[in-house]
Structure 1
Amino acid sequence: MLDDYRLKIIVAIVIITIILVFSMDPIAQDPSYHNFADQRGMINIPNFFDVISNLAFVIVGAMGMRLIRSRRATGGLPELQAVYMTFFVGVFLTGFGSAYYHFHPDNQSLLWDRLPMTIAFMALFSAIVGEYISSRIALKIFIPLLASGIVSAGYWHVSELNGSGDLRAYVLVQFLPILLIPLILLLFDSGLNGNKYIWGVIGAYAVSKIMEFFDAQIYSALGVISGHSLKHLIAALATFIFYRALLNRQILSKQVARME
């Protein structure tokens, strides 16, 4: 299995990235992170639009869980149904965790935003590995990846409580899949048609991060909604695109050779 040069590239990138990140000094949470552009309150809800925009995650997460439970996710691989379910559970919980955080943004509430996000990140990455590389590999790494994601958020939180905040592990959990997923799509063929859906997920998530980065500038320009609120909506759109993929893709009648 490791004789495949494509897998060697993936493993090498993972190892090099881990070494580079942990060769850096610990990264503490910047207190200014909690100072979002749109702090308007409505109907006794502070930061109303940053809070309420998380409803999109709750809706898509609930739709996804219902889809998996109904066994209508024919656009996915049968052996990955638990992975897909975990992804949508993570999305669903992210809606509540992020809303709770934005109701009163600080390091304590941020933990409950980040924990479910790590579940969604790791489940999605496992699903992509299963669809493009090997479902057997995906199922082997799934639980360890989930554990590493949860531990990364927990470790950051404990490190902040101890006065020596360290985001490095969480940075890896969030951004390494963003780096690897496009590469996997370029190097490997899927056992399903509809690559456009996964590229759509990647594109929408990339746009959401741009919205997040330009939070204040977008709010200043538009006046009605901030970049961070748009980030929630567009990131939820990314999860909806994956939901549509599980409805509309088809398993290829002539499956490509996959590493087992």
Structure 2
Amino acid sequence: MRADKEVDRSKMFAVGEFWKDSLEDLEEYLDALGTQFSVFDAPLHYNFKEAGDRGAEYDLRAIWDGTVVQKRPIDAVTLVDNHDTQVGQALESWVSAAFKPLAYAMILLRPSGYPCIFWGDLYGTGTDTTSKGEGDSEGDSNGPERQQPVSQLEDLIRARKLYAYGDLRDYWDHMNCVGWVRTGDEKRPGCAVVISNGDEGFKRMEIGKEHAGEAWTDVLGWSEGEIVIGEDGWAEFRSPAMSVSVWVVKDAHGREEFGKR
């Protein structure tokens, strides 16, 4: 940036890390700053951790309870894991691999908060303790066990960029299967998302009468086949067990990019 160029500091984005699993403490921290400021949503991370640990026993309708993004979305930087919560670190509270795609769908494909992607979730992290060098009987085991990248996280990021636009319609009415619709805008299509932390899930949701007759498919490829939008603008979307599906119109711009690395 040129030294002689005046900076409009009112438009600068700032985030702080005050790692407390307490919405009350985080609100006190934010209020004391005296200006709009964002903070990492630690309570949301711990909700994701609990949800992953408990599996189908966890009520997904409680996932936002006590979080910054629920109470003060403009101040919330949402995350799943970070460098401190990963395996082997001081605040280790790693979200289970099975739940991570669901968690990332929640922070990437909804309008509230500023989502933050952990490098280790995108590329993998830690030490690969399974490999052994020539003449090395122990292998490289001087660090935490390697954690694999989150399955198709790149595609979830791509889905946000291409399809997560417009108004939000929530269908948050079952403890193990929830869904929502992003209605799109004048230039970009929307999407329909279904998440299940139990058995295969189904959710009847409204897309709009203007979409009647369209064929929609899951860009992640985890749900096979097509879903045709009814004349009333509604359709029943599905998700595999302990998974997420992101449905968009079959011929939507950018569909050819999914599944590539």
Normalised to the residue count of structure 2, the TM-score between the two structures is 0.25
Which structure would you say has the larger Rg? 2
More strand by share: 2
Higher relative contact order (CA 8 A, sep 6+): 1
Greater helix content: 1
